[in-house]
Structures are given as structure tokens and as C-alpha cells.
Amino acid sequence: MTNCAIHPSILSADFARLAQELERISSADAVHVDVMDNHFVPNLTLGLPVIEAIMKATSLPLDIHLMIEDPDRWAPAYADLGADSVTFHAEAAKAPVRLARELRAHGTKSAMALKPATPLESYLDMLPELDMLLLMTVEPGFGGQPFLDLVIPKIERARKAIDGSGATITLQVDGGITTETIKRAAAAGADNFVAGSSVYGAADAAEAISALRNNAQRKDSVE
């Protein structure tokens, strides 16, 4: 993988010190923000007002991951904030094609996420509507869960489909990404990596980001 990106997730940051926590990851490619509504997932995090404050505190692009019901209704407002990308879950969207188009029309990259057990094949025809596809490598809802290797074949199939589509689509993975699991995800074809606990749990977050980047780029990634 020649071009890879590391998006630390602030879910594992200290929410009482967000400005300092954002500074710790200034060498990252973007900040991943997990929005949870206690309905789509059994956890509640933050929403528009906090994201507005985050935007003022960082110059990094914002990668918004919406784990919410009814994204058709709520997602465009996140695009209007100026997020670089807005990701909705396929399992929650009523009209994913319409929503992907609406996100682009609102000036953001359109992105769609699939939970580990959601088949990719039902969504292949809509790949050209997306700027990024997120394959969850844990069940969404919490940081610090172990990477699910059962998603690897889906990452490989998604890589083939994206390459075959001729479109420019980022292939993101989220959940359980460490310096070890990132090698397997990269070898399978992912090029964008969300990492929460492995970055924020490290004494030196910048060092953790650069170790992740190095391991994702290694050609002999799988041992």
C-alpha cells in the first residue's frame, strides 16, 4: 500500500481535555469522531455542538462516523459543519443512494459503513456513489475491542471491487487496529485506518501514529 492514512479516534481520548488530546495527534491525517445515539449502538457520545468545538480546536480534517438511527435525517447537518467526510451505516439508512448523493451535494465526502456481518455484495452497485467505504472490524459501539479477523475476506473482496470500479474510493477499517492487526488489514487491501485505544493508550501518540503508518506500508506486511 503506497498511500495510507491514519485517523485516530477521539473515542479513547480524555473528553475533559479535548483540545490537548487533539494536539497529541497533530501528525495524523484526520481526526475520527464517533457519534453514537444509544439506539443504533448501546452507547452515547457527542453531537453537533461538541464537533463544532472540536473543529475550532484543530486544523486536522474531520472524519465523522455516525453510529445513529435515521442518518437520512441527521447526516447532512454534519456535512454542513465542514466535515471532510461523513460516514453513515448502511444498516441504518433508509435510502443509502439518496443519502450518499445528498452528502456530496452538501460539500463533503460521502462514506458508508458496514458492520462485520453485513454483506458487501448487496452494496456493490452503489460504490461509485461513495468516496469512502468503511468496513467495521469490531461490532460498533465501544473502543478497545479485539480486531475481528473474520472481516479480512470482506476487505479483500472490497479491494477487488474498488479497483475494478475505476472510481477513487478509500477503503477504511475501524476497530481493534494495532501495530500488529494493521499489517493484516493493509495486506488485505485497506488504505485508511482508524485507531482509538492503540493511539490514545500510548505514552507517545505521535510515535504510535508513525508506528502504525510504517506497519501499514510494509510490503511484507503479514508474518
Contacts of 97 (CB under 8 A, 6+ apart): 126, 129
Least separation in angstroms between residue 11's CB and ligand DX5 is 4
CB of 166 to Zn ion, least distance (A): 28
Residue 179: name its binding partner from ligand DX5, Zn ion, none (Cβ under 5 to 8 Å by kind).
Answer: none
For residue 77, give the 3-state DSSP assignment: helix
Q: Which does 177 bind (CB under 5 to 8 A by kind): Zn ion, ligand DX5, none?
A: ligand DX5
Residue with nearest beta carbon to ligand DX5: 196
- Nearest-approach distance from CB 125 to ligand DX5, in angstroms: 26
CA dihedral 69, 70, 74, 79 (to 10 degrees): 90
Give the number of other CB atoms < 10 A from CB of residue 77.
14
Closer CB to ligand DX5, 185 or 195, in the complex: 195
> From Zn ion, ligand DX5, none, which one binds at residue 144 (CB under 5 to 8 Å depending on kind)?
ligand DX5
Q: Please choose which of Zn ion, ligand DX5, none residue 110 contacts, taking the beta carbon within 5 to 8 angstroms, the exact cut-off set by kind.
A: none
Instruction: Yes or no: say if 79 and 86 are a contact pair by the CB < 8 Å rule.
Output: yes
Interacting residue ranges for ligand DX5, rule: CB under 6 A: 9, 11-12, 32, 34, 65, 138, 140-145, 174-177, 194-198
Contact 4, 28 (CB under 8 A): no
Rounded Cα distance, 74 and 57, in Å: 23
Question: What is the set of active-site residues?
Answer: 34, 174
Query: Which one, 7 or 183, has the nearer CB to Zn ion?
Result: 7
Q: Say if residue 140 is exposed, middle or buried (CB neighbours under 10 Å; 0-12, 13-18, 19+).
A: buried
Q: Nearest to Zn ion by Cβ — which residue?
A: 65
Q: Are 139 and 118 in contact (CB under 8 A)?
A: no
For binding to Zn ion (CB under 5 A), which residues are involved?
34, 65, 174
* Of 11 and 83, CB closest to ligand DX5: 11
In angstroms, give the least distance from the CB of 90 to ligand DX5.
Answer: 14
- The owner of cell 451505516 is 89
